[in-house]
Structure 1
């Protein structure tokens, strides 16, 4: 196994979530429709053309509480980790804090499960009575409480990873997975950036500084994986630099909004994000900012961010990956103080 892959494995833990939920569904049959709605349907018995869906035999609202805990566990891992080997690669220095957070969530999930099990018969009876046409079907198709108890599970594992055989098939397979870690990380950043664009930045003529929070979280996540490739840390520095030269108070509008939109657009494309990271490692974050975003506001970071630009350029990345090709001077039109929505396929800075 290549030395750089070994060094990467030495700095991460693999976290996997072992969560299962009770769905509360049964297969819907034509007899159900006949009994509840007096509707006759000739279903294709081979299921080649048509099959009926499912019927809910337990209150969805009660189960949503369990789903919320599972979602919180996934977000806790995703916020600092990258998809890896069916779980999440977590930087070693963040593993203990994550373990504590997951334990709190597991305790919460098991408490909700215990409460659900204690009230299971009452919840089932209430749900059936709320749906009188389906009451007999719901009660007749109810799941045994022991089955439900066995289905619901909240747990997690955190382990270190070793190839097990130097130079063998296992080592080669694991090395290829480590080589894909950078791509997984940037794809995660791209998803979060696309969500930020869609939910907070598109069709806006101004935003508050709350829009900075997801970007700062992305920078923290990228910083945690600087050991994978220095361009990752360089990209984090660019995010902080763009935010640091924004006005320290008031709404973000005009050219500042354009730069915020531009930064988020870059991050939504792994290729473009890596271009910026490469440029910063080869020169200086302030210089790349000028090149990509135009003239800065003021090179003074607001106290709320406390993220001054680095005084020295990052070292050139040795990395697992080849350097990304060049970067062109932006040639986009000047920002107008109206809601800004580029076409879906737009290359924001023409590179």
Structure 2
């Protein structure tokens, strides 16, 4: 386990994203079933009824997801929200403000046709007019249930160790959380961009650059973040400038992604670089390790990478 020092709070600011989205649902009641006999509440509970087409509200979930994605790319999960590099606060506010403007515009458009949307929903469900109509709520009520806000907090730990224990515990786990988040993003990148591929385009570098940017902004969280950033820089610099990424360059990238997917191994390699091992040597090792597992992990990639007799056909990029 990594124990992050409380002093990281000097560079970190906490952010809480507060997005409310009306569900267009109301709880079903016994009266909705015209007095039919129902099981007792301790045995079964009634569900909910939709009083408006849920598709009308999808845009709000999409915009919230955009905001969450932005914060996940920039910060690290912390205290139920995110820990954000303080130097990135203005940039994040600018992007959140843009998303909020889109959110409020969608809210205004939805409210402008809210009554019509409820009527359309009733028309789509003949025979259930009463169930829907008696449950509808006013546009003002809906307006109060849809909003997009955020709050920043600058945290100062209490001087009393006992009082501040909870905060110290949360801070101590930041390093582990960061590397776990990187591993999750790298696993998703592997599946989407590298698994089963014998060549990729430069678009495959985009999610890796996002991981790099996240780590580069949070280098103060844990000392071994910096060497991981350096490792990614070195790998990016060895990519071909144009055309497909394949051969030894692809193998190297696959090795880097595999490393990022394993938090414990990632931390260990970061420590090796801190201890003086050259990043080029680390990458050479990753190439060798990746070649050894390619037949199992990506069966569509031919074994032509393995034999020494054909390695001279592949540009080594200085790795062997």
TM-score band w.r.t. shorter chain: 0.7 to 0.9
Q: Name which of structure 1's ranges 208-217 and 62-71 shifts more when overlaid on structure 2.
A: 62-71
**Cα distance in 1 between the residues matched to 2:167 and 2:176:** 15
Q: How large is the RMSD of aligned CA atoms in angstroms?
A: 2.7
1:280 aligns with 2:241: no
Residue 339 (structure 1) aligned to one of 300, 304, 312: 300
How many residues end up aligned between the 2 structures?
A: 296
After TM superposition, the score normalised by the length of structure 2 is 0.83
**Cα distance in 1 between the residues matched to 2:188 and 2:39:** 41
After TM superposition, the score normalised by the length of structure 1 is 0.76
Q: In 2 relative to 1, CA 130–181 (structure 1 residues): closer, same or farther, beyond 3 Å?
A: same
Alignment match, 2:235:
242
Alignment match, 1:156:
150
Give CA-to-partner distance per residue, 1:204-242, whole Å, 9 cap, x none.
332211010000110111011111222112112212222
Give CA-to-partner distance per residue, 1:167-210, whole Å, 9 cap, x none.
33232222221111111111111111111122222233322110
Contact residue 202 and residue 340 of structure 1 kept, 8 A: no
**Cα distance in 2 between the residues matched to 1:129 and 1:149:** 24
Gaps of 5+ in 2: 303-320
Q: In 2 relative to 1, CA 29–262 (structure 1 residues): closer, same or farther, beyond 3 Å?
A: farther
Contact residue 219 and residue 239 of structure 1 kept, 8 A: yes
Q: How does 1:62-101 map to 2 (within 5 A)?
A: 62-101=56-95
Q: In 2 relative to 1, CA 339–96 (structure 1 residues): closer, same or farther, beyond 3 Å?
A: same
Alignment match, 2:49:
55
Alignment match, 1:268:
261
Give the SS at the match of 2:224. Answer: helix
Answer 1 or 2: which has greater helix percent.
2
Give the SS at the match of 2:243. Answer: coil
Gaps of 5+ in 1: 36-40, 295-329, 342-351
Contact residue 212 and residue 232 of structure 2 kept, 8 A: yes
1:211 aligns with 2:204: yes
Residue 45 (structure 1) aligned to one of 29, 34, 40: 40
Contact residue 259 and residue 293 of structure 1 kept, 8 A: yes
Give the SS at the match of 2:84. Answer: strand
Contact residue 216 and residue 240 of structure 1 kept, 8 A: no
Higher relative contact order (CA 8 A, sep 6+): 2
Residue 335 of structure 1, CA deviation: 4.6
Q: How does 1:321-336 map to 2 (within 5 A)?
A: 330=289, 333=292, 335=294
